[in-house]
Structure 1
Amino acid sequence: MFVARRSAVLFAIIVFGTVGAQAQSPSEAPPGPAPTPLASPSERKPTLEHEFFKNILQDQRAIWLSPFHLKKDDARWLVPLGLSTAALISTDQRTAAEMGEFHDQLRLSHNVSYLGSAYGVGSVAAAFYLVGRAGHNARARETGLLGAEAFIDSSIVDSVLKVATQRRRPTDPRGPGDFFQHGSSFPSGHSAAAWSLATVVANEYHDHKAASYTHL
């Protein structure tokens, strides 16, 4: 009974987590037949910089309320997600125990995970923004801002889910991979940050050849 209840709780948490970072891109204005007069300073639309923290609050509201807006069409991804999540939870202990024997792979995974660290993701987002500002490249500037926004969004969600799941690390000798045991390893903050930034870059540069591989 406890295992079933734990699986149900984790499944609900995963559903919340799949929403991802909802970094909001500004809507594109339809092209007009002729240029419009410049607006006065008081009428100009606030920039992404000015709306940065406001957008994060709106993102968080959208993320945590998204399960209440599910539709029938969402079953196409929700059902496979639920089945795969249940399978991973049921085999979690065995997988963690077997992975502990492959020290080289664990070391490689640990090193690669630095790409999703705060300074790794933050540096990439900052580079996009600074290059965009210096070169008057609106898309690069927007990518940097939305990347930073997505990183903060995912970090907030990740922190909440860590408190909810309390999963120990797979290498914890007290009980590797155990949930609800005062751990803080699930979900992976590095993975959440890296994929959040990657999603922003893929959406902003969807017309680039490299981004086409993300839609396979």
Structure 2
Amino acid sequence: MEVPGSRSPVLLVVLAVCIGSRAQAQSSPPDPGCWSQVAQLPHDAVQFGHGVVEAPRNAIRPRNLKWELPIAAATGVLIGRVDAPASNRIQSLPFQHLAARWTNIGLGIELGTSGLLYGIGCAGHRSPHAASTGFTALEAIGAANGIAALLKAAMNRQYPYLRHSRGEFWEGGKSFPSGHSAASFAFASVLAHRYPHNPWVKWGAYALATGVSLGRLAGKKHFPSDVLVGATVGYVTGAYLADHSQE
């Protein structure tokens, strides 16, 4: 997945400053330095690995089935009835290129915001909460993208932009799920869980993730079901790391 630099520095800075100002009010005693978060990486990796191992057992718990079954049903409907017709409606190549470019810019904003938040927290405002949030967001983006890559390799689904593509599985593609959606919603999920009482941060992050995901559809890079599953992977990954990583 290509991740270019952001072309929207103003939006990136505004989002980071908004979060940073909120974090300053929540700040703890000064953090020993930027490397303190890096030192927590092994702990976070172990916690994430434990979550992956426990995933099959947790998946069948009634409280999780309440949302897993509707998403699974929606995914099946999208694959069987919606994906190909929806993708075939998008014919404008300039529009596709513009949408695809936006998704890369949006993902760059998310990566840049995570990095800025980490830097502001550990070196600027000296807020461990902000530094931890930024670093955890980067972890979640990487983890969600890794899970998406494994699923892509296993499912081998055709890309929608290929001529006469029907979105068949095990046909040599990497369309399912969307890595951009997974990474974007991982970022948004971390921020939403770490700043639950700040609606500007919470809904701003989700709006950006939604915009990136819709752009993958408009750019014919993915089918609707690819985006839905990618967003689910990202949300769950971000929520888990936000709750289990050390601050």
Q: Please report the TM-score for the alignment, with normalisation by the length of structure 2.
A: 0.60
Gaps (5+ residues) in structure 1?
1-45
- The structure 1 residue matched to 2:161, chosen from 161, 168, 171, is 171
Deviation at 1:211, TM superposition (A): 4.4
SS in 1 for 2:66: helix
Output one character per residue of 1:88-135: Cα deviation in whole Å (capped at 9) or x when no partner: 010222222223x24454334312211454x54332211110011122
Deviation at 1:136, TM superposition (A): 0.4
Output one character per residue of 1:175-206: Cα deviation in whole Å (capped at 9) or x when no partner: 35222111112211111111101111111111
1:79–1:123 distance in 2 versus 1, CA, 3 Å: same
Which amino acid in structure 1 is aligned with residue 144 of structure 2?
A: S
Deviation at 1:158, TM superposition (A): 0.8
**2:21 aligns to what?**
none
Deviation at 1:59, TM superposition (A): 0.8
- The structure 1 residue matched to 2:145, chosen from 132, 139, 155, is 155
Structure with the greater alpha carbon radius of gyration: 1
Q: Please report the TM-score for the alignment, with normalisation by the length of structure 1.
A: 0.68
Q: Which one is further off, 145-154 or 53-62?
A: 53-62
Deviation at 1:62, TM superposition (A): 0.8
**1:62 aligns to what?**
51
| CA–CA distance in structure 2, aligned partners of residues 189 and 168 of structure 1 | 15
**2:216 aligns to what?**
none
Which amino acid in structure 2 is aligned with residue 157 of structure 1?
A: I
**1:139 aligns to what?**
129
CA contact (8 A) 2:157 2:175 kept: yes
1:174–1:65 distance in 2 versus 1, CA, 3 Å: farther
